[in-house]
Structures are given as structure tokens and as C-alpha cells.
Amino acid sequence: MKDWIWTRERKASPARETLSREQIVAAAMTILDTDGVAGLSMRKLAAKLDAGATSLYWHVPTKDDLVDLLIDEVWGEIDVPEPELAGWRAGALLFGHSLRSAVLRHPWLPEVMYTRPSIGPNAMSLGSRGLVLFGAAGFTEHEIDLAMSSVMSYVLGTVSAEVATREMVRKSGCSEDNWVTEMVEQAEAVAGDYPEMQASVRRRTAVGLDAGLTQNFVFGLDALLDGLEARVKR
């Protein structure tokens, strides 16, 4: 079985070493947020840090290890409030929006987060706080896990599609408004025999891309929490 960076003992830095793992992660995050996973290489990272390869590999032996560190760094950005402060429903709502915002800030995340276990310290803290939050709703035992998993699955699935849409717009070279106009024209051209679909396309695009994606997310998260709340009351 593969050993992960979290299960290995961390080496002490050499006496003259000035570079830190934290500096490496911060610089790598900047590259990833700008250029994506394909644009990240240890050579580019070393150049950005003005460091030698030896210094880099001392702290982070492989690119896979680096990606593990970066994913855990994102998990550390997500807000999961204590249920005593907000109540479980408001807390779950904040958690969902915070998770979405984190993925939108780091659109490379959906490409890599399913390819490895999230077992870093920030992931463990996030999971622990989330379980406390959903436990406060009244779910018991395994249903606590399932309730939290349902919210995370909804958020990550929806925002992954949103990231893909935004990337499609970026690659088109068009503004969001022009891209939406072109998509509407193309959809209406092929939906002549389906008036319901034509009406749906117009409704979905009338508010603009950003607002439409946000409305879609908000409605779905609210509906999911409605269902969870009804279930726990029942």
C-alpha cells in the first residue's frame, strides 16, 4: 500500500536550510490557481522560489506529496461553525457556501480531490467539526456520516460542474454575456420542437451566468437541507 505524506515522519530541516514547507505550499498554490494541475511542475516551483531542487525535495519528495499538501491547505479554508453559535441548519448552510467558495477560488481541486484520500490535519479537523454540526441536528450514529456526506456530495458535485462551465467560457475567449447569448441562440436553433426546453433556456440565462449558477446552487442546497431537516424531525 502507498504511504502518504501524512503517515511519514517529517524530517527536520538542515541547519542552513531557509526554505520551509509552508513557503513551498504557498508558492505552489499560486501556480495551481493560475495555471491548473498541468501547469504545476517541481522545476517551475523551484524557479518561482529561486531555490534548488535539493531544497525543494527535502521538504516535499514528490509532486504527489505536494498535491496532497495543497488539497489539505484548501480544506483548512472552509468554515464549519459550532452549532451552539448558529444552529445546525444555519451552520450547514454556511459550511456549504464556504465549501463552494473554496472550490471556486481553487478550480483545480475537482481534478485531483477524488484521486487520493483526504487524511491531512485540516481534512480531519473539517470532518470532525462537520460531524459535531450534523450530530447537533439530531442525527444519530451512521446517519450523521450520511447527512454530512450528502451535503458535501451535493456541493462538490454542483461546484465541479460550475468550474467546468466557467472553464468552458474562459477557453471560448468570449465575455460571459456573449457566451450566454451564443448558447441561447444555439439552443433555440435546435429546440424548436421542444417549447418547454426553449422556455427553460430563456429562464436560466435571463439573469446572467454568474447569478444563474448561484441561484441553482442556493436552491439545491436549501432543498437538500429541507429534506434533512424533515427527516430528522420525523
- The pLDDT averaged over each successive group of 10 residues in the chain (234 residues) is 78 69 95 94 92 84 93 97 92 97 96 92 96 94 95 97 91 86 81 81 83 94 97 88
Predicted confidence at residue 17, as pLDDT, reads 64
Measured in whole angstroms, the distance separating CA 38 from the mean position of its chain's CA atoms is 18
Predicted confidence at residue 154, as pLDDT, reads 97
Predicted confidence at residue 141, as pLDDT, reads 87
Predicted confidence at residue 57, as pLDDT, reads 84
Q: Could you give all domains of the chain from N- to C-terminal order, each with its CATH number?
A: 12-61 (1.10.10.60), 78-233 (1.10.357.10)
